């Protein structure tokens, strides 16, 4: 019975570790995606909520991110290196994609 349990635990562990593997291109440890990279920081004018292009009060912006009911959740920007950053309306980085 112990050996069956051990096999089940090992199989579960291996399947969980396989799911958590990400490519270096998508990894948060890659400098292109890092929150410590100035290109990804809301301190950068390109990503700042004070930039009119990203402002929640600019109804003509194409950077806004909205939910299905039309409520603005935040905005997105793209860095020169190609990382797409997502920010809430206060300029806090909440995610990224490559």
Nearest to 47 by CA among 13, 83, 73, 72: 83
Domain annotation covers residue 66 = yes
pLDDT the model gives residue 22: 73
Domain annotation covers residue 18 = no
Report how far apart the first and last C-alpha atoms of the chain are (Å, whole number).
46
Structural domain span for residue 56:
40-98
**What are the per-10-residue average pLDDT scores of the chain (98 residues)?**
43 50 84 90 93 93 94 94 93 92
pLDDT the model gives residue 43: 92
Q: What's the number of domains the chain is made of?
A: 1
Please state whether the predicted TM-score (pTM) of the whole model is above 0.85. Answer: no
Place of tokens 């440890």: 29
pLDDT the model gives residue 71: 94
- Whether the CB-CB separation of 47 and 85 falls below 8 Å is answered with yes
pLDDT the model gives residue 68: 96
pLDDT the model gives residue 4: 45
Query: Is residue 70 helix, strand or coil?
Result: coil
Q: Which two tokens stand for residue 31?
A: 């400098």
């Amino acid at each position: 019975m112990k050996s069956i349990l051990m096999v089940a635990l090992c199989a579960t562990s291996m399947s969980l570790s396989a799911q958590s593997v990400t490519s270096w291109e998508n990894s948060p440890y890659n400098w292109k995606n890092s929150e410590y990279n100035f290109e990804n920081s809301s301190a950068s004018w390109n990503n700042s909520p004070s930039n009119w292009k990203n402002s929640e009060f600019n109804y003509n912006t194409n950077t806004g991110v909205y939910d299905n009911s039309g409520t603005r959740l935040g905005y997105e920007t793209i860095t020169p290196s190609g990382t797409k950053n997502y920010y809430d309306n206060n300029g806090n980085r909440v995610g990224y994609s490559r």
